[in-house]
Amino acid sequence: MHEGLWMIAAPEVILVAGGVFLLLAESLAKLESKAVGVLVLAVHLIAGLCLLPFITTRAVIWDGLYTWDRFAVSGKAFFLVVGMLVTYLSLEGEAKVPAARAEFYILPLFCTAGMALLCSVRDFVLLFVALELVTVTLFVLVAYRRSDPASLEAGAKYLIVGGLATAFLVMGIAYIFGATGSTQFDAVAGFAESEGVGPVLLFGLAFLLVGLGFKAAAVPFHIWAPDVYQGAPTPITAYLSVGSKAAGFVVLLRVFLLPFWNTDFQRHWVPLVALLAALSVVLGNLAALPQRNIKRLLGYSSISHAGFLLIGVASHSFLGFASVLYYLMAYLAATFTAFLVLVLLEREKGGETIADLSGLAQRSPLLAWSMALAMVSLAGIPPLMGFFGKLLVFLAAWESGLHFLVIVGVAAAAAGIYYYVMVVRAMFWSDPVHQGPIAVHPATRGLLLALNVGSILFGFYVKPILALAAGAVVGSGG
Amino acid sequence: MAWLLLLAPLVSAFLVWVAFRRHPRASQAVSITASLITFLTAIGIALGKIEAPASLAWIDLPGLRVEIGMTLDSLARLMLLMVTGVAFLIHVYSLGYMAEDPGRGRFFGELSLFLASMIGIIVSTNFIMMYIFWELVGVSSYLLIGFWFEKNSAADAARKAFLANRVGDFGFLLGILTFWATCGTVAFDPAAARGLAGNSLAPIAALLLFCGCIGKSAQIPLHVWLPDAMEGPTPVSALIHAATMVAAGVYMLCRIFFVLELSPEALSVIAWTGGITALVAALIATQQNDIKRVLAYSTMSQLGYMVLAVGCAGTTAAMFHLTTHGFFKALLFMGAGSVLHALHHEQDIWRMGGVGRKMPLTFATFGIGAAALAGIPGLSGFFSKEDILQTAAQSKPALFWIAALTAALTAFYMTRITLVAFLGKPRTEVATHAKESPLVMGIPLIILAGLAIVAGYPFFGILHYLGAQESAEKSLLVPAASLTAVILGLTAGAVGYGRATRERIVIPLLERKFYFDEIYDWTILKLQEEAARLLAWIDQWIIGFFLVRGGAFLVSLGGEMLRLLQAGNLREYAFFFALGAGGILLLLFGH
Amino acid sequence: MGTVTLGHYLVLSGLLFAIGLAGVIIRRDLLIMYMCLEIMLNAANLSLVAFSRFSQQIRGQVLVFFVITVAAVEVAVGLALLVSLYRMKRTTKAEEITALKF
Amino acid sequence: MSPLTILLLVEASAIGLILFGAPPKKVSMAAAAVNFLLSLWLYVQFPAGLGGYQFVESHNWIALSGLPDIRYHVGVDGLSLPLVLLTTLVTLAAVWVAPAQIKRAAEFYSYLLLLSLGALGAFVSLDLFFFYAFHEFALIPTFLLIGIWGTENRQFVSIQLTLYLGLGSLVLLAGIIALLGALPAGARTFDIPRLTEYLRENPLPPNQQLLPFALLAAGFGTLVSLFPFHSWAPFGYASAPASAAMLHAGVLKKFGLYGLLRVAMPLLPGGAEAWKPWILALLLGNILFIGFSTIAQKELPAMLGFSSVMHMGYLFLGLACWNVLGISGVVFLMVAHGLSAALLFAVAGEVRERAGEIRFSELGGLARRMPFVAVAFLVGSFASVGVPGLANFPGELLIFFGSWRSQPLFTAVVVWGIVISAVYQLRAVRSVFYGDLPQHLIQANDVEGSGRIPYMLLMAALLILGIWPGTLLGVVGSGVRGFLSLY
């Protein structure tokens, strides 16, 4: 593969270039922050368009560091969508970010670039670099509102625990490199195939999992999640709960699909991941029950969804990995709807607790119904995407023999319905605390409708999304 | 054509319920014509002009075939004639009795419903069809007893009647199921009953089926509802609680006799139940002051006689007595009804007195009925009771003497109420102004009085109709004993109550009806209330609160504990993180 | 005393890693925590260099450069955060920033 | 486009119209009426003779390697057609009974239609995924219906109901997954007919059937308020608005039984046999335990709630004995109980609204002020007590006959239920409608004019099925015979 294929890596290049250009432009020309936001959206669109022509190509470039296959393409598309949605959230939440200088819009560009890079990773070095690009940008974004102590506290916590995770990650990579003598995924796979899994390699795998566990916010590395979710500005919380988590799982899939795929490895990591999944599902759902602050509640909910996703990963089968991708798409739709409604509420001086949501159905049926559909989809009640995701994940786990895990998953999901229903209850039953209807920009109205209809439609007519997910997993052989 | 028997009253009941409830005139007309049609059809059938129609398959599934058809053998024809005849007379009588009651439209509708279900029982060809109409009769008696639903006592009486019947029907259904399980069919088919012959289930099946009769014909222990059923209007008591419904139990026994005769033990149990009921009812009747309650207990006692007869394998005797009893008991009730009608529903005999002079027709017909019931020779009661005593004497002598004693008691309490109510001086203001009931109530009385006299004689042909052969050795002891019993009862009654102005001898045991009601209230009802309250408490607290909400509480407790894990202190987070990493290492290297 | 083998290096890097981790857990001041994080990252660098030296694979050392740059970036962001935190709350102790909990 | 899909589309479009501002009551009445007539037409067209599914329509929904294929596969046979009829009739009655000017009417009627759509979808779909998904439609609408328009302590009751049913459906989901998981990769499909076909040829080894059947039975059992899992039902129905209670107790509850009948028992006969003693013991709990607790109830709606839980005992008995008589009895009684429960809950709603009182101690003599409602309650009570001439009797009779041969003594105890139900039902009639009229109920007025039609519809249905069960048994009998011949 001659280096001329550089163009293929366009999305990352465009994003970074766009980011740098906008940073310069902003510092020189003092652009108004809303305009910058729109420009950022434009950059994302351009990157997306550049992606289209290369959908079917398959290539491994940069001396085996970077691969381009259907899995990577769908991953990049996913993260571009996430990027655009976060930017849109920031635009809507403009008022709440007082010192809203343009960086708040531009930084996510770099973060999205990092995530896109992660989708094509084939080497631990590139993995480390891309992961750190994402993490560090998120450190800054979480602590962006310097005037708000909560944001600062969240930033500090995220940074320290993040730092720890990075340290473990690097130590893991070091040991894997030490054991196999190479950082290439296929080399590691070859080594494991020939020499089997020695203690050093296992040690490396353990530390690697610690680092990735942090990213996915799975128990026991979830400690940061609730506080950071609550403290961070709402668009960034959305970004964390979807973008960063998805990045974690994309890497997990990449890592388990290629280097650690052979049965000898699986004998070690499958029970471990299954245990992590069970713990996350139980803790996520139980700890969310008494929560009153919605963002903190969604934090715990994201931990429980990390658990369900891990169930998919633990089933180490084609169906399992496809279900993880489908579940991520369902999770994307539901979470962003919820956060969009939250952002709109915050703009109307509404707080973040469930009580502030009360009576929303009478104030603005669209918002109430969007939030309700998001909650119902997260709770896994048909006919929404969330349900089909859970169905796939449980089916995959059961087929690969993890019967106990499915039972635990089902029980935790049942316990979980309570706090989703509490949100729905507050909105539909009680009378409004804050009076007056909520102004919703037509574009946002359109976006909400799209997310709602998507969530219902693709919950029933699952074929397109599922084909995308399955294709991606099949395509990731490279 | 024969379907008219069932269709006419059903259609009339439906029409009244749907359309005519608010127009009494129309509903009366519809109901009476329906009753007349059934009577004429019954006559047609009796004369052999109308044949039994083909049967329709009500439920036809592998393993169970239930048909709706008609058996019109001699037993059914006799019963049809008696029931439709008496029913028609009572319909006419009700015109007068219910004249000024605003709800009389509904009353006639319910009468038609009852008539249809009663005929259904008579003509049914299989157990399930009989069970269907069996319960429908229970429903219509519930509606009719509770006709004046504003009265709390009537509402409670209706519920009590239905529940008692229901318990009986429970036994009846179990009996049907047992019969079906062993003989493979639900039809009245003696050939199929062979399967039950040697089987140990035979007595159980027979007794379970007998439960149905206990419930319906108010035998002990399910008899408590009959006296309370007097809360209903008098035509109802006359029709249902004298002539037809209560007799259905005995008719059922005769119809399924081919099952009962398979087990002698069951027959003796039936006989003894009949005997005891007859005696106990007669004893209670002697101490009752309400004229309708006396007649109610007397009905219970006569039904005891019939059950006794069936128990002694004397189905023809039982049917003979059933028919004659139908006539004179309906007469007595209607007589009492016309007295009540005149005395503005005053039912206590001690507040009547001297009514005979004021209401000669009622007095005369009531007298004939009372005489027939008492068993005075020459009247129908004497012949049919004689027949029962004969059969009792031949098979179970002990029961014969009980029956004879009951005959004496019957004579005693009949003379008592006749003397106290109709003769002597009027004891209350309302009794003095009593005047004769209108002719529309009088005519049925006269017809029934005629029947009460004539029905017993052979030329009337009931026995011949039933196909009974003259049994040769009639022991002379029986007529002698019954005659002395009657005479004894009459004289005792006359002496006791010739010029009595108030009740002198009061026996609390009898007056309080052997305390059956109290016993039932205390045992069954209390037990049921306590059990219900306990179980409801368990359901609400143990299952509802403790298990369900307890489980939910545990889950939320778990949530609370996990929530507190998040203490917000950065250093603890780092510690947990390290702990997690250590855990992973341990796990990976553990096994 | 014998030559210094790969094992010795790994033991040293393990010790360093443990010290860094303990530092993050025990010390109260955020600044010190940052330093401890640095120690852990350098421990990882040490083991990387040791592995690449003994297995004659240059690729390991390439990763060290990236790790160093990332460590620097991390500290930069951390210090910026610390400054604004100090301006807000006049403290850098980890105990003071526990508003977000339960 | 099979007529069954049209049924679903009619309701879905009605919901759509309501959300876009059409007058809610009129639109839903129209939709319900159209659906009822359509289902009647379907019933007439249904070729009773041959078994198997009619009006079938099937599209490939998802066919991906490695994933069990899902098809939009609708069809009805002798078992499900009566339930479709029941659903459309009860929906029409429920919508008709609901007051036009209720607060937030658009939401109210759309939730009601969602409930009905969920039930209808579940009964017509022959694909496990749609079967399960359609039923779940009803979970949140019920929560909202009881929560917003319910009466006393609706808050707690609706949350308990939703969580309990949520847990039940998730256990059911686990059961379905366990069932599919137990099959070899090639045979895995969500399509019920193909599953039945496959499992008939090569049934699973008995020990593998235990866990899936247990989960399915527990899941369906909770949805049907089988004895220990019943705490949500009585008070849930008691404080639900009349129409919601009618739809939920009358129709939706049958989903669990239909599920056991269509999915759990035929596909896992070994499991059914193994768990049979347990089911028998639990249904005894329904009949006796719940039966007696019903007697102790002090309020009309709660009593009706308990009574509908008690009647489930008969249905489980019919299922447990698994022969033509029993199953036909179950299908017939499901329809009959649906109608009688709907009628009784409608009346309870009227009493609550017009007399403003639901406690037995405070009520009495309403027959004088509300004769029509009294007649409706009487017919409903006699039906639910199992008096011949009304629909429940043939159902119960068939079940008793079906189960008598295999366990006579047990059935005898269950038959005692007819006395228990008579006790509490007549106690209700006595204390609400008979007796003297207390002072504060003088102003209660009767249902007038067109408001009577839904009651008449239900009563007519009960009478027709009761007097001549052949109308339904023809279809049910052949359907059941065909169905059972498969095993």
Half-sphere exposure of residue D474, counting CA atoms within 13 Å on the CB side?
11
Which residue from A minimizes the CA distance to C23?
A: A164
Total tally of structural domains belonging to chain D: 1
Dihedral sign for Cα atoms in the order D457, D461, D462, D467? positive
- Let me know: does D198 contact D187? Beta carbons within 8 Å: yes
Helix (H), strand (E) at residue D71? strand D70-76
Tokens of B300: 């219970």
pLDDT at residue A387 is higher than 50: yes
Summarised one tens digit per residue, pLDDT across range A448-464 is 888 888 888 887 777 77
Summarised one tens digit per residue, pLDDT across range B523-553 is 888 898 999 999 999 988 888 888 888 888 8
Please tell me the distance in Å from A431's CA to the nearest CA on chain B: 26
**pTM for this prediction:** 0.91
- Mean pLDDT for A245-258 is 91
Interface touch B569/C24, C-beta < 8 Å: no
pLDDT at residue D99 is higher than 90: no
- Which chain B residues are closer than 8 Å to C43 by Cβ? none
Please tell me the distance in Å from D305's CA to the nearest CA on chain B: 13
Helix runs in B477-569, H state only: 477-497, 508-511, 516-520, 526-537, 550-565
- Mean pLDDT for A46-50 is 88
Confidence class for position A477, pLDDT limits 50, 70, 90: low
Residue B160, classed as helix, strand or coil, is helix
The closest CB to that of D473, out of B59, B152, B538, belongs to: B59
The closest CB to that of D166, out of A392, A414, A466, belongs to: A414
- Which chain B residues are closer than 8 Å to A205 by Cβ? 588
Summarised one tens digit per residue, pLDDT across range A70-91 is 888 889 999 999 999 999 988 8
- Which chain C residues are closer than 8 Å to B570 by Cβ? 30, 33, 94, 97-98
- Which chain C residues are closer than 8 Å to A125 by Cβ? 59, 62-63, 66
The angle that helices B4-18 and B104-123 make with each other, rounded to 10 degrees, is 160
Interface test with C, best of A128, A129, A171 (most C CBs within 10 A): A171
Summarised one tens digit per residue, pLDDT across range B92-117 is 999 888 888 888 888 999 999 999 99
pLDDT at residue A300 is higher than 70: yes
Helix runs in B98-126, H state only: 104-123
pLDDT at residue A100 is higher than 70: no
pLDDT at residue B20 is higher than 80: no
- Which chain A residues are closer than 8 Å to D143 by Cβ? 421, 424-425
pLDDT at residue A35 is higher than 60: yes
Interface touch B570/A165, C-beta < 8 Å: no
Interface touch A161/B581, C-beta < 8 Å: no
What pLDDT sits at residue A478?
A: 43
Write the DSSP symbol of residue D395.
H
Summarised one tens digit per residue, pLDDT across range D268-308 is 988 898 999 999 999 998 999 999 999 999 999 999 999 99
- Mean pLDDT for B371-377 is 89
Interface touch C100/A152, C-beta < 8 Å: no
Please tell me the distance in Å from A392's CA to the nearest CA on chain D: 8
Interface touch B571/C100, C-beta < 8 Å: no
Domain assignments of chain B as residue spans, ordered by start: 265-511, 522-590
- Which chain D residues are closer than 8 Å to B548 by Cβ? 160, 164, 231
What pLDDT sits at residue A6?
A: 60
Domain C6-93, CATH? 1.10.287.3510
What pLDDT sits at residue A197?
A: 82
Phi, psi of B471 (to 5 degrees): -80, 130
- Mean pLDDT for B292-310 is 92
Confidence class for position D487, pLDDT limits 50, 70, 90: low
What pLDDT sits at residue B191?
A: 84
Interface touch D295/B158, C-beta < 8 Å: no
Interface touch A149/C63, C-beta < 8 Å: no
Separation between Cα atoms, residue B414 and residue B286, nearest integer Å: 8
Residue B68, classed as helix, strand or coil, is strand
pLDDT at residue A54 is higher than 70: yes
B167 in reach of chain D (CB within 8 A): yes
What pLDDT sits at residue D88?
A: 95
Separation between Cα atoms, residue A106 and residue A86, nearest integer Å: 11
DSSP D110-133: HHHHHHHHHHHHHHHB-BHHHHHH
Instruction: State the Cα torsion A429-A432-A438-A444 to the nearest 10°.
Output: -30
Separation between Cα atoms, residue D122 and residue D131, nearest integer Å: 5
How many other CB atoms are there within 10 angstroms of residue B498's CB atom?
12
What pLDDT sits at residue A1?
A: 45
Q: Which of A150-154, D318-322, D477-481 has the lowest mean pLDDT?
A: D477-481
D328 in reach of chain B (CB within 8 A): yes
Residue A361 makes CB contacts below 8 A (sequence gap 6+) with: A368, A369, A427, A428, D107
Query: Highest-confidence range of A404-408, B61-65, B504-508, by mean pLDDT?
Result: A404-408
Q: Which of A124-133, A332-341, B43-52, C33-42 has the lowest mean pLDDT?
A: B43-52
**Neighbours, chain A (3 or more CB pairs < 8 A):** B, C, D
- Residue ranges of B 83-102 with Cβ closer than 8 A to chain D: none
Interchain CB contacts (distance < 8 Å): A and B: 78
Separation between Cα atoms, residue B11 and residue B148, nearest integer Å: 24
> Exposed/middle/buried for C48, CB within 10 Å: 0-12, 13-18, 19+?
buried
Q: Which of A437-446, B212-221, D281-290, D342-351 has the lowest mean pLDDT?
A: A437-446
What pLDDT sits at residue A7?
A: 62
Summarised one tens digit per residue, pLDDT across range A214-231 is 999 998 899 899 999 998
Interface touch C101/B570, C-beta < 8 Å: no
Answer whether B touches C (≥3 Cβ pairs < 8 Å).
yes
Q: Provide, for chain D, the percentages of residues in helix, strand and coil under a 3-state DSSP scheme, each rounded to the nearest 5.
A: 75, 5, 20
pLDDT at residue D422 is higher than 90: yes
The closest CB to that of B556, out of A203, A269, A290, belongs to: A290
Task: Note the Cα B403 to chain centre separation in Å.
Answer: 22
What pLDDT sits at residue B419?
A: 87
Interface touch A418/D163, C-beta < 8 Å: yes
D166 in reach of chain A (CB within 8 A): yes
Residue B62, classed as helix, strand or coil, is coil
Separation between Cα atoms, residue D436 and residue B328, nearest integer Å: 36
Summarised one tens digit per residue, pLDDT across range D196-218 is 888 888 888 888 889 999 999 99
Interface touch B564/C33, C-beta < 8 Å: no
How many other CB atoms are there within 10 angstroms of residue B511's CB atom?
14
The angle that helices D300-321 and D392-404 make with each other, rounded to 10 degrees, is 40
- Let me know: does B293 contact B227? Beta carbons within 8 Å: yes
Residue B280 makes CB contacts below 8 A (sequence gap 6+) with: B220, B514
C70 in reach of chain B (CB within 8 A): no
Nearest Cα neighbor of A313 from A304, A325, A303, A301 is A325
Write the DSSP symbol of residue B428.
S
pLDDT at residue B469 is higher than 70: no
Separation between Cα atoms, residue B295 and residue B293, nearest integer Å: 5
Structural domain of D248: 3-485
Nearest Cα neighbor of D454 from D309, D247, D252, D311 is D247
What is the residue whose two structure tokens read 């996703």?
A: A309
The β-bridge partners of A200 are none
Tokens of A319: 């169906």
